[in-house]
Structures are given as structure tokens and as C-alpha cells.
């Protein structure tokens, strides 16, 4: 990855306003700007090979496997699932996983008998791959059980869970799944169904009074939060093929989960880079794109825009908070807006242009939004600039045909 000169810290910048709303008619590209024709340097509608694109996660925890999902969920609704479909069609888990589902810090001062309870199911190799219930005690996590393993159907512990009054107050608790280096769905030596672990209705309450300190029923947004160790960098940016969300059918970039599109994890810093583009033939360069926001403004999550004109040093040029209050798909897109790739270049020296979008979430994550989704989609990206000779106004269809 190219060196980034600006630190990836949350920068409090004003939102950049979108200049146009989309209609059912494909727009004509306005190349006759300032009395001078513009040269299209590069265009990608994400329908072909995207090998030149690059995505990376700058966030702390990498890719946790605990996530909200409807698959085999408790009471046919959302549940936390530590598993994936990467290995087989009925869901499973891999070797050497170390996954945690953390509860927020909970103060139970003034009450005498705090109890942790939940509903769970599991399918993991017996005697080797375990899910532990853990709590901090004198600042160190200790196991409250011997570890759930083997195949167990959904069981609701009800009122009788784990007494935690002898552990730290405020209470710090988590579920931790650990698998060894072999015998899992990954190598096919142990084939689970919906492995490794599922949990729902995580609750900390006082047994004597019935007072609930904390409840994560999953439908309310997932108040627990997942982490993983060892750190495994990944990116949530990926190409989806679905005519319904894409701007130009059927493919676009999407930063989010396919299984739970209404959620994004906390502390996300997830970047998507365009390919490097030779911009040396123009005297200035702008980048245009279609972007679909589904970012609830109340969460203070946002997307930052960075550019390079020399292929090395990146500069932040803007940020979008929220989605203009609409969550209305591509109708709220920032489209055909010119973001200057070369405005920071010394002496106007343009060599290699590249655009970078970074999705940020707070420690609460992102979502759910009013329309039931969260995250960002990118489609139909191009770079252009004024060339020495005038260029006639060109239609959208002609440009797409050039790069198919």
C-alpha cells in the first residue's frame, strides 16, 4: 500500500453538499467546462475486472466472525453467530479461531446478586473447540464455565445463569470461542452444522429485584460488540452483483455485511482505492463517482475522501456525515461532482492520480438506519481533465462503450 502522509484520525470537517439528484434519464457528461474540452482519462462502471482496485482495513480488530445473522437464529429472528459459510453450505467454522463477543462495561453498584444469562446453541469438535463464558476478576479474564463444546440445540438459561458478584464491579464480560489447529469445517475433518456458537438475549440482571442492567436481544441493534485475535486484517469493501442496489446494473462496490446489511462493526476504518491513473497528459484532474449513503447521522459515522496526484502522498479533501437525512438510495447520491485530484500538487505536477474512500464508524458501530441498512456503495467512477485540444461533449453510453 502506498504511504499515506496524513494520519487516519477522525477529522471534524463540514459535509460536502451533493450537487445533483439522479433521475431516470442517464446524464450527459459536461465536458465543455470553462470553454475548454475535457479528456476522459479513465472510467470504470465496476462491471468488468476490478483487479486494479485495492481495499484495506485500517481498523483495530480485523475481521471478527461473531456477527448478527438470521441463520438458525433463536426464535427465528436475529442472533449473534460465530461462524461463516466460507467452508460449506450449512455453515461452520475454521481452524485456529479466537473470537470474542464483548459486553459493554456494566456498573451494578447498589445491587447484591448480579446474574449473567443468555440463550445459546453450539456445534464444535468435542473436547477440543470450546466457547467460554468469561468475566474480569482483578483485571484478568477468568472462565465461568468449562467451555461449551459438541452439538447442543438452542437452550435458554432463563433466570439461572452465571453469578458474577465476586468478580469486578463494574462488570466486564464476554463470550470467547477458541478452536485448535485442525478438525473443523475448514479442513473437512469435523463438519458442523451452523458451527461454532450462537447466542441471543444476553442479559445481566439482579436476581433479588429482577432489575435488568443490560439486555442485548439482537433485534435492538446488537449492543454487544465482536473482536478477534490474533489480528487478521481484512476489508469489508467488496463487489456485489445485484441490480437492485447497483447504480448501473448489476455490480457496484459495497462496504458492509451481506448477511446483516443494516449493521457495521465499531471502530471501522475501511479504505477503498481506485487504480493508479496516468494523469500527466492534463493540466488539472477531477474524479467523479456515484455514491449511495446509508449512514444514520445520529451515529456520527462518515466517509472521508482522499486523493493523490503523485502516487505517494494522500490529502483529505472532504467528508460526508450521514445521508442527507433520507436513506433514499441512489436518489441521494453525490454524482457528477468534481473532486480535484491535483489541487495540492506542487507546481501543478500531475503524474499518478488515485482516489481513496474511507468508511469510519464510532465505537457504537453503524446502523440500523431508517431504511434498514448501513454503509456505503460506490459505482461508475471516472477521472477527467482539460487537454490541449477541445473534446466534444460525449454521452454516458459512449463513454461506457469505450471501456467495456
Q: Where in the chain are the domains?
A: 38-62+234-402, 66-228
Q: Tell me the pLDDT band of 73, cut-offs 50, 70 and 90.
A: very high
User: What's the mean pLDDT in 170-180?
Assistant: 93
Q: What is the CATH class of 66-228? A: mainly beta
pLDDT in tens, 268-303: 788 999 999 998 888 888 888 888 777 766 666 788
Domains 38-62+234-402 and 66-228 share a fold: yes
pLDDT in tens, 318-369: 777 665 444 445 555 555 556 777 777 766 678 888 999 988 877 666 766 5
Q: Which CATH number fits domain 38-62+234-402: 2.60.120.200, 3.40.1440.60, 2.40.50.1070, 3.30.420.110?
A: 2.60.120.200
pLDDT cut 70: percent of the chain above it: 72
pLDDT score recorded for residue 183: 92
Q: Is the pLDDT of residue 120 over 90?
A: yes
Q: Is 256 left (phi over 0), alpha (psi -120 to 50) or beta?
A: left
pLDDT score recorded for residue 19: 28
Burial 15-47 (b: 16+ CB within 10 A, else e): eeebeeebeeeeeebebeeeeebbbbbbbbbbb
pLDDT score recorded for residue 193: 95
The dihedral sign for the CA sequence 147, 148, 149, 150: positive
Amino acid at each position: 500500500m502506498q504511504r499515506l502522509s496524513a494520519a487516519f484520525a477522525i477529522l471534524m470537517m463540514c459535509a460536502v453538499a451533493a450537487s445533483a439528484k439522479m433521475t431516470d434519464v442517464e446524464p450527459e457528461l459536461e465536458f465543455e467546462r470553462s470553454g475548454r474540452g475535457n479528456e476522459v482519462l479513465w472510467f470504470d462502471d465496476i462491471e468488468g475486472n476490478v483487479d486494479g482496485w485495492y481495499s484495506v482495513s485500517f481498523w483495530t480488530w480485523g475481521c471478527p466472525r461473531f456477527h448478527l445473522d438470521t441463520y438458525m437464529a433463536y426464535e427465528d429472528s436475529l442472533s449473534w453467530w460465530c461462524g461463516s459459510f466460507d467452508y460449506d453450505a450449512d455453515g461452520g467454522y475454521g481452524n485456529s479461531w479466537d473470537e470474542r463477543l464483548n459486553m459493554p462495561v456494566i456498573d451494578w453498584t447498589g445491587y447484591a446478586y448480579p446474574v449473567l444469562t443468555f440463550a445459546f446453541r453450539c456445534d464444535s469438535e468435542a473436547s477440543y473447540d470450546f466457547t467460554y463464558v468469561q468475566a474480569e476478576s482483578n483485571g484478568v479474564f477468568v472462565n465461568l464455565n468449562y467451555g461449551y463444546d459438541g452439538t447442543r440445540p438452542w437452550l435458554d438459561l432463563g433466570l439461572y445463569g452465571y453469578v458474577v458478584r465476586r468478580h469486578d464491579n463494574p462488570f466486564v464480560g464476554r463470550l470467547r470461542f477458541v478452536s485448535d489447529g485442525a478438525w473443523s469445517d475448514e479442513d473437512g475433518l469435523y463438519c458442523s452444522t451452523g458451527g461454532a456458537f450462537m447466542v441471543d438475549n444476553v442479559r445481566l440482571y439482579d436476581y433479588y429485584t429482577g432489575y435488568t442492567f443490560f439486555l442485548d436481544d439482537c433485534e435492538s441493534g446488537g449492543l454487544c460488540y465482536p473482536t478477534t485475535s490474533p489480528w487478521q486484517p481484512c476489508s469489508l469493501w467488496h463487489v456485489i452483483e445485484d441490480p437492485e442496489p447497483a447504480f448501473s446494473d448489476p455490480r457496484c462496490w459495497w462496504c458492509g455485511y451481506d448477511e446483516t446489511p443494516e449493521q457495521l462493526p465499531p471502530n471501522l476504518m475501511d479504505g477503498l482505492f481506485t487504480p493508479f491513473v496516468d494523469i500527466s497528459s492534463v493540466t488539472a484532474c477531477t474524479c467523479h463517482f456515484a455514491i449511495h449513503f446509508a449512514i444514520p447521522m445520529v451515529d456520527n459515522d462518515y466517509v472521508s475522501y482522499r486523493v493523490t496526484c503523485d502516487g505517494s502522498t494522500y490529502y483529505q479533501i472532504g467528508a460526508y456525515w450521514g445521508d442527507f437525512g433520507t436513506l433514499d438510495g441512489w436518489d441521494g447520491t453525490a454524482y457528477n461532482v468534481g473532486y480535484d485530484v491535483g489541487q495540492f500538487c506542487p507546481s501543478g505536477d500531475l503524474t499518478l492520480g488515485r482516489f481513496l474512500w474511507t468508511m469510519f464508524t464510532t465505537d457504537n458501530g453503524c446502523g440500523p438506519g431508517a431504511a434498514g441498512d448501513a454503509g456505503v456503495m460506490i459505482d461508475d467512477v471516472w477521472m477527467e481533465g482539460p487537454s490541449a485540444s477541445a473534446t466534444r461533449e460525449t454521452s454516458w453510453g459512449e463513454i461506457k462503450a469505450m471501456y467495456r
